[in-house]
Every structure is written in C-alpha cells, then in structure tokens.
Amino acid sequence: MRVVLDTNVLISATLIRGGNEDRILRAWRRKAFELVLSPAILEEVARAFSYDRLRRTRWMTEEETLELLQALGEESVLVSGRPAVKVSRDPEDDKFVAAAVEAGAEYVVTGDRDLLDVETHRAVRLIRPATFLEILRETERA
C-alpha cells in the first residue's frame, strides 16, 4: 500500500519516541508500506528538521535526523507532486494530496485539521496517525 505522511507526522516521529508517529515511521522502515513523497514535501521536511526549537526537543541525534532525511529521499517513492489539486483550506497542504493522487496512494496520514476535514479526495483517504496504525495492524493480521 502507498501512503503519504504529512510533515507533521514525520516531525512528531522525531519528537516523541514510541508515539504513534514514531511507530508509523518504524513500520515504513520495515517495509510495511511504501512511503510517497515529492520534492516539495522533502524540502518542507528538511526545513522543519533544521528549526532550532525542534532540534532542542527531539530525541533523535543530529546524525540520526540526517540519516532519516537521506533515507526519505532514497527509499521512498518520489513523484513530481505537480497535479493541480485544490482541496484544503490551506493551499500549502495541497502538495500532500497531489503526491497521493499522482502515486495512486491510498492514504494521507496527517494531524492537520485542514486536511482531515477533507476526509477523502478521489480514492485517497485523509486519516489520523492512530487510524493508520489500526489499518497497519489489520493488514499484518490478514
């Protein structure tokens, strides 16, 4: 299954060890799903990883964070993210749905209310991290 993770999910994974977002990232590392990203998403993640306030509070070391960023770029399904998609109240959020549509992803996992309020766009469901973990558990049981 193909999945787009919002920047807030990736950032939270570095802030709360063992939290839902960290568990999702670990599931991706064990190949439980294919992560879909676009250059615009990767740029946003890299920028957020460099914020001083986040650097001071995350559990990952600087080296681990750089390794994660490299893995995101090398081990995910990269798409252009160019399809014109206008679904969110915040136009900056549309890049996640655009990447999902382009890659044929099933889910965008996010904590962003503007995206969650969309619920579904075409065949893409926009869901919370906890909901995605339940889906992963069900998939692993099957």
Q: Convert the pLDDT of each residue in 102-137 to its tens digit.
A: 999 999 999 999 999 999 999 999 999 999 999 999
Domain ranges of the chain: 2-141
pLDDT of res. 139: 87
pTM of the model: 0.93
Give all strands (DSSP E) within 2-140, no chain letters.
2-5, 34-37, 77-78, 107-109, 120-121, 124-127
Q: Are 101 and 83 in contact (CB under 8 A)?
A: yes
Tell me the CATH number for domain 2-141: 3.40.50.1010
CA-closest candidate to residue 83, choices 101, 109, 110: 101
Q: CA 40 to CA 91: how far, in whole Å?
A: 13
**Tens of pLDDT, residues 70-99:** 999 999 999 998 878 888 888 899 999 999
pLDDT of res. 132: 98
